[in-house]
């Protein structure tokens, strides 16, 4: 603990302050009783848009830094007591070639032209809500922080678009009930963005050093006087499931579910869920594990994504996370465990950010904890920094009682040397597990310089052998780790190339009791990006693996104890996402645990129009260990068809020869509006060798959202 206190004290001395940059400011136009609120049809024909001030001072944020834009963009923003309205006019001199292929709500549309608005409703320069639309009126939303982007977060809002012979227009209506805010704030952080994929161009209203994040946003005034009504959100759903696992004659069940949220204040939200159902959630992408460490899968469930940014801790990406919400409602093998009820309290008040989560759920083992708790509090410091605490209790997968307490500090400054960003962080955690008496702590420090021309980071963490965050994620313990990267980018100003770069990566994990666990040194010798978003890299590297306990690579192949040094080299390239046919390929070769491993990972995507999307990817590793040879194979295929913006049919097939199974997931989805959704889901798993059906399920689910 003393080390952590010293680190925090030293970090607090990093007061590298400079003059506040001049940032754009706009007043939200208030629609009074004599004026009609706009109809969200994308046409922008209402009289209100004839009087609202126009914002048009956009600049390039990529590839140039504040360079002139190739196409004009205009924005207008207005409000009444319950909605924020945003109108865009995106001029395009080649409208016949506009990219607009996304037509499925909730699916990414990185290939498309798109417009976005950002709201930092607490004006803390750290977090913002993100709302984006493509020319087909498909919504995309997310939570953004200076250090993270939570893509799977979603809320209810409305938008529509229209294509003209001179460009396209978009209209948004964002209910104030869909976001939290500080009612006492005089200003919000505000930004607008436009992406023009044909030219590889990103435009912004406010940016710094090619960055568009909460710390670089402008400001909006006139943000007081909103009304949230009763502040109650009800999200009931019902699912009817027929399940056949071949061990019985099949089971039919009807499961009602309710998730609700109540705005205790405009900045504090209480959530409640009972008999929670996640049957409509996207399936995980399979991964093949060719080492002895657990794999990390991202969270996709809406209840846990609500205000998820508040629970982020220490800028820890994977190993050592004190809270990882996928440990709730899932067994250690990834099988669903019923969540009976859950309560969540999240919000921001002044300089404080608070979050609490309590769950009652089914346990994996008899005698394990069925009541779980997570608490997080942090306080903003200076312009962009923060300090916080986190606590967890409970373990649904073990008979041992478990708790955790941690503290973290992050110093962040986006105005170093004028417009450069610097970040430093330190954290400390300690767990208490019944079966352990000592060696239950972890701590880490890191610095990051994430800028354009020169960039890099360096992190150190120590995770003791018995550190056990039962509601977090650890796949390496009893280790000291160093992880770092240095990058240099050279920007090219011609018609084809955007930039070239070289970068050096280093990772080392040493056992605390002696000996190297893993070491990796990789040099991406030469990589580049074109103005059409094509990318390539050429890399070489060396790895060292210290095996002190034999492990099974497959059922038939065991990796014995020893130290293994391996050279590795390869290439990777991908074409731009705006292309109708997109390719990705990685080819790598080298040593592997005393033998050799050749990796071939091709992928192809086909988007002939806005209705159809098809893809196929493979990951093949040909392993030769002398007397033993094995080829791991993982295949994935997707076929999505959008009948229109309301009806979509989504299909994915995945197969691998590790689990020797083939899985099929098919979802017919009808979403007539942002607060109504209906699913018909078919899941089936087959034995890859015998083709026998292992389990099947047919699910119908209806979900609603009501705001009071």
Question: Does the pLDDT value for residue 448 go beyond 70?
Answer: yes
In this structure, what are the phi and psi dihedrals at residue 470, rounded to the nearest 5 degrees? -60, -25
256 dihedral zone (left: phi>0; alpha: psi -120 to 50; beta): beta
- For residue 39, give every residue at least 6 positions away whose Cβ sits within 8 Å of its Cβ, in sequence order, or none: 46
- CA 707/CA 675 separation, integer angstroms: 9
**Kind of pairing between the strands at 551-552 and 25-27:** unpaired
How distant, in Å, are the alpha carbons of 146, 526, 600, 648 from that of 611?
35, 37, 30, 9
The residues that bridge with 683 in the sheet, in sequence order, are 665, 697
Q: Report the percent of the chain where pLDDT is more than 70.
A: 95
pLDDT at site 278: 67
Residue located via tokens 């099974």: 552
- CA 153/CA 301 separation, integer angstroms: 9
CA angle 576, 578, 584 (to 5 degrees): 35
Question: Does the pLDDT value for residue 247 go beyond 80?
Answer: no
Question: Does the pLDDT value for residue 708 go beyond 70?
Answer: yes
**Kind of pairing between the strands at 420-433 and 402-416:** antiparallel
State the DSSP code for 126.
S
Looking at residues 147-162, what average pLDDT do you find? Answer: 89
User: Judging by beta carbons within 10 Å of its beta carbon (0-12, 13-18, 19+), is residue 515 exposed, middle or buried?
Assistant: exposed
pLDDT at site 280: 60
pLDDT at site 467: 97
Read off the pLDDT of residues 584-630 as tens digits, 9 standing for 90 and up. 999 999 999 999 999 999 999 999 999 999 999 999 999 999 889 99
Q: How many CB atoms lie within 10 A of CB 34?
A: 5
**Exposure of 10 in the CB half-sphere (CA atoms within 13 A):** 12
Looking at residues 477-497, what average pLDDT do you find? Answer: 93
Alpha helices in 217-290 (DSSP H): none
pLDDT at site 19: 33
pLDDT at site 15: 34
Helix H or strand E segment including 530: strand 516-530
- CA 322/CA 360 separation, integer angstroms: 19
Q: Is 177 helix (H, G, I), strand (E, B) or coil?
A: helix
Q: Is 115 helix (H, G, I), strand (E, B) or coil?
A: strand
pLDDT at site 371: 95
- CA 170/CA 58 separation, integer angstroms: 17
Q: How many CB atoms lie within 10 A of CB 405?
A: 16
Confidence of residue 3 (pLDDT cuts 50, 70, 90): very low
pLDDT at site 248: 66
How distant, in Å, are the alpha carbons of 216, 433, 532 from that of 66?
13, 53, 20
Read off the pLDDT of residues 268-307 as tens digits, 9 standing for 90 and up. 889 888 887 766 666 677 777 788 888 777 787 778 887 8
Confidence of residue 148 (pLDDT cuts 50, 70, 90): confident
pLDDT at site 586: 97
Gyration radius (Cα) of the chain, Å: 26
Question: Does the pLDDT value for residue 652 go beyond 70?
Answer: yes
Of residues 438 and 149, more confidence is placed in 438
Question: Does the pLDDT value for residue 244 go beyond 80?
Answer: yes
Read off the pLDDT of residues 51-102 as tens digits, 9 standing for 90 and up. 999 999 999 998 899 999 999 999 999 999 999 999 999 999 999 999 999 9
pLDDT at site 154: 86
- For residue 294, give every residue at least 6 positions away whose Cβ sits within 8 Å of its Cβ, in sequence order, or none: 473, 475
Looking at residues 537-566, what average pLDDT do you find? Answer: 93
Looking at residues 214-238, what average pLDDT do you find? Answer: 90
Question: Does the pLDDT value for residue 338 go beyond 70?
Answer: yes
Question: Does the pLDDT value for residue 423 go beyond 50?
Answer: yes
- CA 205/CA 266 separation, integer angstroms: 27
Which two tokens mark 409? 């500090």
**Exposure of 373 in the CB half-sphere (CA atoms within 13 A):** 10
Cα-Cα-Cα-Cα dihedral of 130, 326, 373, 274, to 10°?
A: 80
Q: Is 336 helix (H, G, I), strand (E, B) or coil?
A: strand
What average pLDDT is seen over the chain?
Answer: 90
pLDDT at site 606: 95
Question: Does the pLDDT value for residue 695 go beyond 50?
Answer: yes
Q: Report the percent of the chain where pLDDT is more than 90.
A: 68
**Among residues 471, 482, 430, 445, which one has the least CA distance to residue 316?**
445
Read off the pLDDT of residues 4-53 as tens digits, 9 standing for 90 and up. 444 443 444 333 333 334 789 999 999 987 788 999 999 999 999 999 99
State the DSSP code for 243.
E
- CA 207/CA 62 separation, integer angstroms: 10
- CA 154/CA 131 separation, integer angstroms: 9
**Among residues 77, 56, 79, 78, which one has the least CA distance to residue 68?**
56
pLDDT at site 470: 95
């Amino acid at each position: 603990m003393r080390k952590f206190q010293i680190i925090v004290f030293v970090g607090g001395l990093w007061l590298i302050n400079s003059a506040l940059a001049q940032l754009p400011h706009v007043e939200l136009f208030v629609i009074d009783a004599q004026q009609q609120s706009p109809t969200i049809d994308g046409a922008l024909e209402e009289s209100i848009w004839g009087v609202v001030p126009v914002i048009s001072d956009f600049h390039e944020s990529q590839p140039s830094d504040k360079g002139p834009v190739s196409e004009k963009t205009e924005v207008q923003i207005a409000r009444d007591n319950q909605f924020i309205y945003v109108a865009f006019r995106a001029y395009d001199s080649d409208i016949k070639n506009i990219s607009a292929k996304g037509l499925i709500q909730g699916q990414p549309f990185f290939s498309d032209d798109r417009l976005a608005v950002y709201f930092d409703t607490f004006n803390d320069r750290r977090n913002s809500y993100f709302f984006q639309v493509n020319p087909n009126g498909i919504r995309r939303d997310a939570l953004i922080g200076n250090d993270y982007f939570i893509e799977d977060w979603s809320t209810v809002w409305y938008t529509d678009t229209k294509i003209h012979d001179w460009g396209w227009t978009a209209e948004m209506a964002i209910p104030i009930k869909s976001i939290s805010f500080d009612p006492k704030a005089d200003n919000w952080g505000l930004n607008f963005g436009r992406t023009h994929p044909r030219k590889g161009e990103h435009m912004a209203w406010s940016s710094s050093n090619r960055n568009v994040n909460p710390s670089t946003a402008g400001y909006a005034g006139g943000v007081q006087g909103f009304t949230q009504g009763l502040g109650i959100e009800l999200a009931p759903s019902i699912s009817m499931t027929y399940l056949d696992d071949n061990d019985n004659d099949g089971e039919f069940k009807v499961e009602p579910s309710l998730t609700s949220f109540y705005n205790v204040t405009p900045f504090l939200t209480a959530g409640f869920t009972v008999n929670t159902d996640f049957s409509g959630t996207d399936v995980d992408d399979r991964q093949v594990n060719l080492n002895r460490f657990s794999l990390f899968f991202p969270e996709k469930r809406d209840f846990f994504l609500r205000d998820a940014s508040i629970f982020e801790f220490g800028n820890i990406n994977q190993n050592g996370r004190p809270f990882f919400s996928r440990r709730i409602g899932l067994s250690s093998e990834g099988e669903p465990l019923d969540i009976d009820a859950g309560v969540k309290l999240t919000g921001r008040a002044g300089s404080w950010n608070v979050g609490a989560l309590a769950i009652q759920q089914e346990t994996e083992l008899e005698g394990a904890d069925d009541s779980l708790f997570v608490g997080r509090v942090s306080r903003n410091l200076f312009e962009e920094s923060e300090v916080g605490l986190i606590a967890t209790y409970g373990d649904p997968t073990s008979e041992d009682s478990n708790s955790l307490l941690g503290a973290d500090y992050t110093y962040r400054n986006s105005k170093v040397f004028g417009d450069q960003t610097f970040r430093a962080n330190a954290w400390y955690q300690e767990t208490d597990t019944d079966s352990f008496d000592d060696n239950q702590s972890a701590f880490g420090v890191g610095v990051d310089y994430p800028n354009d021309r020169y960039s890099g980071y360096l992190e150190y963490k120590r995770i003791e052998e018995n550190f056990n965050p039962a509601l977090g994620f650890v796949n390496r313990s009893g280790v000291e780790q160093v992880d770092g990267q240095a990058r240099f980018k050279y920007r090219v100003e011609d018609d084809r190339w955007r930039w070239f770069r070289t970068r050096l990566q280093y990772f080392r994990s040493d056992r605390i009791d002696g000996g190297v666990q893993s070491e990796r040194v990789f040099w991406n010798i030469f990589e580049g990006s074109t103005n059409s978003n094509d990318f390539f890299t050429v890399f070489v590297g060396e790895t060292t693996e210290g095996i002190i306990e034999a492990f099974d690579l497959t059922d038939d192949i065991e990796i014995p104890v020893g130290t293994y040094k391996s050279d590795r080299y390869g290439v990777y390239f991908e074409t731009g996402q705006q292309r109708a046919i997109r390719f990705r390929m990685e080819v790598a070769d080298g040593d592997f645990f005393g033998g050799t491993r050749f990796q071939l990972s091709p992928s192809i995507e086909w988007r002939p129009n806005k209705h159809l999307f098809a893809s196929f990817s493979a990951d093949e590793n040909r392993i030769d260990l002398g007397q033993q040879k094995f080829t791991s194979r993982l295949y994935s295929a997707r076929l999505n068809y959008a009948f229109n913006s309301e009806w979509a049919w989504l299909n994915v097939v995945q197969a691998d020869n590790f689990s020797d199974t083939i899985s099929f997931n098919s979802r017919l989805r009808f979403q007539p509006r942002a607060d109504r959704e209906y699913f018909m889901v078919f899941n089936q798993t087959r034995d890859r060798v015998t083709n026998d059906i292992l389990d099947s399920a047919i699910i119908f689910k209806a979900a609603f959202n009501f705001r009071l």
